[in-house]
Amino acid sequence: MLTLLFLALVQSLTEFLPISSSGHLVLSQLMGLSDQDLCVDVALHVGTLLAVFMYFRRDIWEMLSLKNLRLGMQLLVGTLPVILVGLVIHYRHLPLLRGPMVIGVCSIFFGWLLWKVDDKYPCHRKVDQMEYKDALWIGLAQVLALLPGTSRSGITMTCARWRGFKREESARFSMLLSIPTIMLAAVYMVWQAREGVITFPPMVDLWVSVIAAALFGLGAIAFLMKWVQKASFFVFALYRIALGIFILIYFW
């Protein structure tokens, strides 16, 4: 049970905070906690998805009720690049880059990039002012998250800042953009197991995974949205650089 709670915490924090899930996966491997069942992994993704639904329920309702169809279309535009690139090269080529050295370097570089862009572009645009070309740029940046150690939330917020959006608006769009991405990740995991037999763990494990990931994820989103209203991304960048250095030294 403690292992499930730990995994739910790691999944939730690294999905939404710009600190790289791949880097923390390496750490969980060192701790012997990364070989969870596929069903538990999918349950964790479902939990983080519920967290986004709960926190951004107003935005989601406006998109579903067609009151803000434009935002929904921009999320679609922002998601298409990672789908296309993933289908073309991800399955055969990118797994070759999943070594700890690549993760360490990417964690350091993209952490530094987040800090520099955030510091250089104190802009004031809102999501309501987003154009489709902005969504496309952010979607293209999200493709880089296929490289382990990049951080999906980190690179999308970095690009949004570069496009002139306020910190909280950058975080808001990044969180909303995680909805189709998390869905695709869950589907991909199930697809990977299409030729094997999925062994279902006890239902209590699945429910604990979903509920814990949802609660931790909700807390992570709330924390991030409050943080960016008053402070920069520097602390997250510094943490990522330190994490990357640790990984490089450990696996040297």
pLDDT score, position 148: 85
* Residue closest to 49 by CA, chosen among 228, 175, 138, 135: 175
CB count in 10 Å sphere of residue 83: 16
User: Between 211 and 122, where is the model more confident?
Assistant: 211
**Coil, helix or strand for 123?**
coil
48: alpha, beta or left, given left = phi > 0 and alpha = psi -120 to 50?
Answer: alpha
pLDDT tens digit sequence for 122-139: 788 999 999 999 999 999
CB count in 10 Å sphere of residue 98: 14
Residue ranges per structural domain of the chain: 36-251
Query: Which residues are CB-neighbours of 244 under 8 A, at least 6 positions away?
Result: 23, 103, 104, 105, 106, 107, 108, 111, 149
On average, the pLDDT of the chain sits at: 88
In whole angstroms, give the CA distance from residue 137 to residue 78.
Answer: 8
**Coil, helix or strand for 252?**
coil
pLDDT bin (cut points 50, 70, 90) of residue 31 is low
In whole angstroms, give the CA distance from residue 47 to residue 207.
Answer: 9
Q: At what angle do helices 203-230 and 167-192 cross, to 10 degrees?
A: 160
pTM of the model: 0.91
pLDDT tens digit sequence for 45-87: 889 999 999 999 999 999 999 999 999 999 999 999 998 887 7
With residue 33 as reference, give the H or E element that holds it: none
Residue 163 has pLDDT above 60, yes or no: yes
pLDDT score, position 200: 64
